[in-house]
Chains A and B, each alone.
Chain A
Amino acid sequence: MTDTIDRSNTADHDRVLDHLVVRFAGDSGDGMQLTGDRFTSVSASFGNDLSTLPDFPAEIRAPAGTVNGVSAFQVNIADHEITTPGDDPNVLVAMNAAALKADLHRLQPGGTLIINEDSFGERDLEKAGYVTEYGPNSEPINPLEDDSLNGYRVLRVPMTTLTKQVCEPLGIKPRDAERSKNFFALGLVSWMYTRPVEPTEEWIGKKFAKNKQVAAANKAAFRAGFNFGETTEAVGHRYEVRPATLPAGTYTSITGNTALSWGLVAAGQLAKLPITLGSYPITPASDILHELSKHKQFGIRTVQAEDEIAAVGVALGASFAGHLGITTTSGPGVALKSETISLAIAIELPMLIIDIQRGGPSTGLPTKTEASDLNLALYGRHGESPLPVIASYSPAHCFHAAIEAARIALKYRTPVILLSDGYLANGSEPWKLPDVGSLPDISVPFTTEPNHVTADGTEDFWPYLRDPETLARPWAIPGTPGLMHRVGGLEKADGTGNIDYTPENHEHMTELRAAKVAAVAADIPPTEVSGDLDADVLVLGWGSTWAAIDAAVQRRRRAGVKVAKAHITHLSPLPPDLGDLLRRYERVILPELNRGQLAHHLRGTYLIDITSVSKVQGLPFKSREIEDAIDTAVTNLSDDQRGATS
């Protein structure tokens, strides 16, 4: 398992776990996301470090009871710092037969299975595909009655029945009561792993304040589950996961999309600019549109546009008018925005394009994660159209990445693509709130005066007269007297900004646009390497693989393997020290949730070999997969490569 620390010196060591991975799985209508969220919140405020992985189907309501309709939420809670939601759950809560069928293979051997046995009737088994064969002669097979669950610790609980029973005296109809069975499961798991009860009861009261009956049913079910644990011998011991010793500070539990949204709000404040967001709903990016729409008091305007092309148009128009223009989307939307992004490059205005990546091509895996839009971000435009690309690496890092993207866009007057992904978007972790006062000032002045004097002594304004250092052109916004000017997609003469088709000018402008993006490298801090600095093998990462890489490198190092790691946030331009850094290692492993897009890019850029480790299953890496890659790389080192570098 990931992230395990040996605690053999703990007094009652069989009752204290250093970490615990629970996976709640049920039908889409069973409220598993809510249940998982609640377990997470309670663990967060209890002081555990944690990391979550919501895993739900693309359909809002896939056929009930089928494997396609299974919705799951995995959470890893620990008494030490962790980064991943855990490779294999220690506990699987299966609310129906389909959930068992879908997720049993994930459960750690010997793991605990908590099963709602009321959902294992013949129809349930058939719908879940627990049948001898498909077709007219098929017979259901009940996994609870054969030996397929041997090797797990199985707790069969009639959750639906017990929930209905406790709800009956409250006058709640059985059909309504049934919906509270997820709270029964939460209560039982809360007892088994010693989670505090009061915060959840309080939360139920608030969350369902509008419907007293539902609140009462949920509370009763939660209590019943908890009491079931306490009174039923079969449940056995209670276990504990003690608080982690996190650095002192004020914490909140944050998902990547919330962090990203707040980072955008902060960017507006730090830039002293109002924000205009143009967006068109798309999973897994819509939550950013929702979140920003809630915070209009920060001077944020949100436009739900008619399509992604309009959305980026709105953002660009707003930037022209002096706002921080932002558009949020996922891969298919970035494809649609491509032409407008090239226009933004030509007219050299700041703009943020945020891509919460999901599995592609086309609609692909809308609710699953992938990092396969890197090529799209780096290259996906017509003409010579370079732009800065940055990627966030953890849910909380999305906050800082948003500010960094805005800083670059404003300073260099360029569109910037910020990559996140579905795993970061929906996953959460505790976040030590930053000291707002320490966040950078990213404001840039508007140009308000003429910047050029013609031969006859009159002052005028040249919209393409650049800052010699950043190569940024002046940003003069409508409303500024005397600086009226036209921008557009036709090639511009450097300086005057007049239309200019001359061959030399086009080449010069093409080079200038590239040089401007390259200039961003001057601001990129040195790439941090951690682990064994004198190792032969370096694991390089970008984006959300950070968590699995971090866990894998820690584990291999504890096992005595020498390995180093580095993670980059800036993908265009690349950190200026990256080439030299990579050359210092005999082997560079690069895990990516794509078919090796960055590996390919780096090979071309630095003419060095990179071992690409690819995964495209719509799921994040397990740290074990990366550990295997590390072991393979170390084993394959030739004798003269081994220890050759230091």
Chain B
Amino acid sequence: MSTEQVAVTTKKDWTSSQEVRWCPGCGDYGILLAVQQLMPELGVAPENTVFVSGIGCSSRFPYYMNTYGMHSIHGRAPAIATGVATARPDLDVWVITGDGDGLSIGGNHLIHALRRNVNLNILLFNNRIYGLTKGQYSPTSEVGKVTKSTPMGSVDAPFNPLSVALGAEASFVARTHDLDRKHMQETFKAAHAHQGASFVEIYQNCNVFNDGQFDGVTKKASRDEMMIDLAHGEPILFGNENQRGVMQGTDGFLHIVEVADVGLDRILVHDEKNEHPSLAFALARLNSDDHSPTPFGVFRNIERAEYTKSVSDQVLAASEANGPGDLNTLLASNGTWTVN
């Protein structure tokens, strides 16, 4: 179906009639708008698009898209979406998940979808909090975070979602944030273009239970100093005059340096196509918290065998080798005898 000529669509075609029910000011609105605006650009049809989500504020997302969709159960969206995509590789399948949904209860499904490289676009709305259940800490909350369930501060070490994804052999890994629609759209577009599992972490503000978590990085005033835009093939530079950069030291580690001190030649050139994930991993861990320079964009984007295609290829190969299935042949396949 995806090969057919697709009618031109507008944002309206992708917007469902359902009233959006997030808290006023929630970062989720910006993400929804970015996606609804982007879809017409992708040249796909709403009927060939499926949004599958788990449970959480973020997971309400599919109700607002005029596509096929399933608001499933907590943590299981990657597994259910794997079923949709395996049955129907012709469909565009998106997974919407949260930091609790995708990294706590559903962590297992997330890593295995990435490992298998199922053709899914996975958007993880990271607000470092459980929004829907009214404000408990999440597996991405920083140590010491005071929430309803951690009145004396959280003692759990958090996950870095990108490290998890890279560790799970993800072939496409990116980060964006809810305040920059253009950056989100570029990132989602690249995720959509990628054949295989695409993992996008979205810094998302929960203004009710964790307001301003990312302000130190993503607010306009902080951006110049704190956001590092990754561009494939370009030296990794940031600062209002690109005066700072990322360098790989002789110790093998990545360091933030003043370009003037080391020279532009020493600045690491970003290579999202690098087969080896170690540099992407180092970049993913460059920021130690939400108050230090943080890379955004596509960290990794490599090609490797996509799961649903491999599954379909085997179905085709079996049909070619054995002819289409025939029940009578099957029933007789373990040897028979005749009683007269």
Contact = CB atoms under 8 A, between A and B. Distances in A.
Contacts of B88: 321-323, 478-479
Chain B CB within 10 Å, residue with most, of A254, A318, A480: A318
B336 A250 contact: yes
Contact of B337 (A251, A266, A274, A296): A251
Interface string A36-71: 000001001101000000000000000000000000
Contact of B87 (A322, A485, A488): A322
Interface in B126-171: none
Interface string B296-327: 00000000000000011011011101111101
Interface string B324-335: 110110111011
Contact of A321 (B84, B311, B321): B84
A487 B69 contact: yes
Contact of A252 (B84, B327, B332): B332
Contacts of B253: none
Contacts of B217: none
Nearest to B333: A252
Contacts of A299: 315, 319, 325
Nearest to B92: A478
B70 A310 contact: no
Contacts of A339: 73, 76
Interface in A385-440: 432-434, 436
Contact of A296 (B46, B86, B315, B340): B315
A433 B334 CA distance: 12
Contacts of A479: 1, 47-48, 88, 90-91
A262 B331 contact: yes
B134 to A, nearest CB: 17
A17 interface: no
Given A296-B315, A478-B48, A484-B47, A321 B337 contact: no
Interface string B47-73: 111111001000000110111111111
Nearest to A339: B73
Nearest to B46: A484
A44 B337 contact: yes
Nearest to B316: A296
A307 B112 CA distance: 10
A41 B335 contact: yes
A484 B66 contact: yes
Contacts of B72: 313, 316, 343, 488-489
A340 interface: yes
B79 interface: yes
Interface stretch (A8-16, A241-249, A510-518, A519-527): A241-249
A361 B112 CA distance: 28
Contact of A481 (B45, B332, B337): B45
B325 A298 contact: yes
Nearest to B13: A484
Given A306-B108, A479-B48, A488-B72, A250 B338 contact: yes
A310 B336 contact: no
B285 interface: no
Contact of B67 (A269, A313, A484, A490): A484
B35 interface: no
Nearest to A428: B334
A333 interface: no
B16 interface: yes
Nearest to B17: A498
A499 interface: yes
Contacts of A433: 331-332, 336
Contacts of A310: 76, 79, 82, 108-109, 112
Contacts of B332: 250, 252, 433
Given A262-B331, A296-B315, A488 B70 contact: yes
A481 B47 contact: yes
Interface in B93-113: 108-109, 112
Contacts of B334: 252-254, 258
B230 interface: no
Contacts of A347: 70
B79 A499 contact: no
A60 B113 CA distance: 31
B88 to A, nearest CB: 4
A313 B86 contact: no
A309 B76 contact: yes
Contacts of B109: 306, 309-310, 313
Contacts of A253: 334-335
A265 B327 contact: yes
B86 A276 contact: yes
Contact of A478 (B50, B63, B317, B324): B50
Interface residues of B, number: 63
Interface in A272-329: 274, 276, 278, 295-301, 303, 305-307, 309-311, 313-323, 325
A297 B47 CA distance: 28
B339 A317 contact: no
Contacts of B108: 306-307, 310
B69 A305 contact: no
B81 interface: yes
A483 interface: yes
A143 interface: no
A246 B336 CA distance: 14
B319 A251 contact: no
Contact of A295 (B18, B79, B311, B325): B325
A314 B79 contact: yes
B153 to A, nearest CB: 32
Interface in B206-256: none
A110 interface: no
A343 B331 CA distance: 35
B97 to A, nearest CB: 13
Contact of B68 (A315, A434, A485, A499): A485
A499 B314 CA distance: 40
B83 interface: yes
B79 A309 contact: yes
A321 B327 contact: no
Nearest to B320: A297
A486 interface: yes
Interface string A433-465: 110100000000000000000000000000000
Contacts of B327: 265-266, 269, 436
A251 B84 CA distance: 39
B5 to A, nearest CB: 13
A618 to B, nearest CB: 27
Contacts of A478: 47-50, 68, 84, 88, 91
19 contacts: A45-B335, A247-B339, A248-B340, A252-B332, A252-B334, A252-B335, A253-B334, A254-B334, A262-B330, A265-B325, A296-B314, A296-B315, A305-B82, A307-B108, A317-B81, A319-B83, A323-B88, A478-B91, A486-B51
Given A297-B324, A319-B83, A490-B71, 17 more contacts: A41-B335, A253-B334, A262-B331, A265-B330, A276-B86, A297-B318, A303-B82, A303-B86, A318-B86, A320-B83, A321-B84, A323-B87, A340-B76, A432-B339, A436-B327, A478-B50, A479-B90
Nearest first, the 5 A-B pairs at minimum CB distance are A317-B83, A488-B71, A313-B79, A298-B325, A296-B318
